[in-house]
Amino acid sequence: GAVVSQHPSRVICKSGTSVKIECRSLDFQATTMFWYRQFPKQSLMLMATSNEGSKATYEQGVEKDKFLINHASLTLSTLTVTSAHPEDSSFYICSARPTHGETQYFGPGTRLLVL
């Protein structure tokens, strides 16, 4: 139980294009999902908290117009990196928290490379 998937697992795109990453909770409902970014050999950095049916809450320094988050259902949240640039290249990981509980379950991550 408590499986979270991400799609795609890796993506290469040209600078200036937009990339959408999906995060799904496969066997539970998640009122809250989280998006993290991980730089090489570092811990995870929380980018934003996504709540179903409402606007996401972004951490300080994260551009909301750059990283668009949509949480349209209790099992799906999407992160769209708009007008991607090489500095956006990173490992993006989502997590989902069941409606009742405090544990976050993580997706397998998406490796983004912007050329």
Partner 1 sequence: AQSVTQLGSHVSVSEGALVLLRCNYSSSVPPYLFWYVQHPNKGLQLLLKYTSAATLVKGINGFEAEFKKSETSFHLTKPSAHMSDAAEYFCVVIYRGSQGNLIFGKGTKLSVKP
Question: How far is it, in rounded angstroms, from Cα 97 to Cα 14?
Answer: 33
**Residue 78 three-state SS:** strand
Query: Is the separation of the CB atoms in 37 and 50 below 8 Å?
Result: no
In the complex, the smallest distance separating the C-beta of residue 33 from partner 1, rounded to whole angstroms, is: 12
* Subset of residues 14 to 43 that bind partner 1, contact rule: CB under 8 A: 32, 34, 42-43
Candidates 6, 25, 50, 77: give the one binding partner 1 (CB under 8 A). Answer: 6
The answer to whether the Cα torsion of 41, 33, 35, 23 is positive or negative is positive
Token pair belonging to 24? 């799904």
Site size with partner 1, rule: CB under 8 A: 23
Candidates 97, 98, 112, 114: give the one binding partner 1 (CB under 8 A). Answer: 97
Which stretches of the chain bind partner 1, using CB under 8 A?
A: 2, 4, 6, 32, 34, 42-44, 46, 49, 91, 93, 95, 97, 102-109, 111
